[in-house]
A and B are shown apart, each in its own frame.
Chain A
């Protein structure tokens, strides 16, 4: 069953509206001087900012430093926040800019990618047709599974990785993702399709073997061959 279809859209929208209204109140109070409330405002976004930054930088230390810088900058610039977008979206925009600046500074923009040279517009052909057992939530308690997921993500090219992070990890809408990345909704959908199918292919072999993630495209016999 599709992921989005499992959630009731109306309920989801109501929840988001409630969260946004609460944020509006917090932001107004902070702008009027109650700065201690800032910690409460950013609490739900710490992981999303960190996930965005770590997906662009390889080092955990750099990611932590940049995440902290992002949140401090958000505090300093909160007066400039014009409510044209959601607070979370604004934060992620700052995070992407900061991470890009740090990357330039560190000059380690080269990420090893299994998908290098892949054509954005070309059709992606899945490589593994094995049935997936649903991975139990308990499996994520194991650090090797979490590491494998992080490693698999790092194998994608950055534009696929970012689209996936924004949409599937940070749960932004396709329109919000397109606005942040400065691309069309269609381009976001294309990147998402490839990112999701590639991650599935990278992770499939291992996760089916009790979590021993191989992290390699598995050469399997395609059914049409």
Chain B
């Protein structure tokens, strides 16, 4: 029997998977071949080492953690509803930890990059009057236009009334005097 043949069958020999004739042939070879005997001894040693309970054993505290989780499951039903796994808890904690500074950074960036919105002047709105207080309307003309006092475009005898009332009565603002009174919009 050659060494190559022995190496091919050595694993089956260890597993006791050879017929008696093959087995005897291998044992006769091991008796005379120191190198193949060393391969056999090493192979058996590898198996013995890995079979030991201390190798590939669960980490310290594993049994306690497992039993706690199982006990919880046994007492309270489906465990997933009670306590997420260690990995899930860690993932949530990391996400939360990352979200806080990220949120702060976004808030700060927004304040720096984007201009703060101006407080809108009520008078700049097209729906609100450009002037406050009393305005002048013509008692003679039918143009239904209201003016600031002294407007050169006011024709006839003036009548003074609150601007809100003028608007309610259907008057529109004079494009010359009220337009000048309208405050400049900031760009």
Contacts and interface: CB of A to CB of B under 8 A. Distances in A.
Interface of A: 1-5, 9, 35-36, 38-39, 46-47, 50-51, 54-55, 60-62, 64-65, 67-69, 71-72, 75-76, 123-126, 128-132, 134-135, 137, 140-141, 146, 149-150, 153, 164, 167-169, 171, 174, 189, 192-193, 196-197, 199-200, 203-204, 223-224
B43 interface: yes
Given A47-B58, A71-B70, A169-B51, A126 B16 contact: no
B55 A4 contact: no
B8 A123 contact: yes
B44 interface: yes
Nearest to A174: B15
Contact of A131 (B3, B8, B41): B41
Given A4-B16, A72-B73, A130-B38, A64 B49 contact: no
Contacts of A203: 46
Contact of B74 (A38, A54, A61): A38
Contacts of A168: 47, 50-51
B38 A199 contact: no
B52 interface: yes
B38 A129 contact: yes
B63 to A, nearest CB: 7
B69 interface: yes
Q: Is the interface of A mostly helix, strand, loop or mixed?
A: helix
Contacts of A164: 50
A155 to B, nearest CB: 13
Given A39-B70, A69-B85, A132-B41, A153 B50 contact: yes
A75 B14 CA distance: 36
Q: Is the interface of B mostly helix, strand, loop or mixed?
A: helix
Given A2-B13, A192-B11, A223 B87 contact: no
Contacts of A124: 7
Given A123-B7, A153-B50, A61 B86 contact: yes
A196 B7 CA distance: 11
Contacts of A149: 49-50, 55-56
Contacts of A72: 69-70, 73, 79
Given A47-B57, A64-B58, A67-B66, A126 B11 contact: no
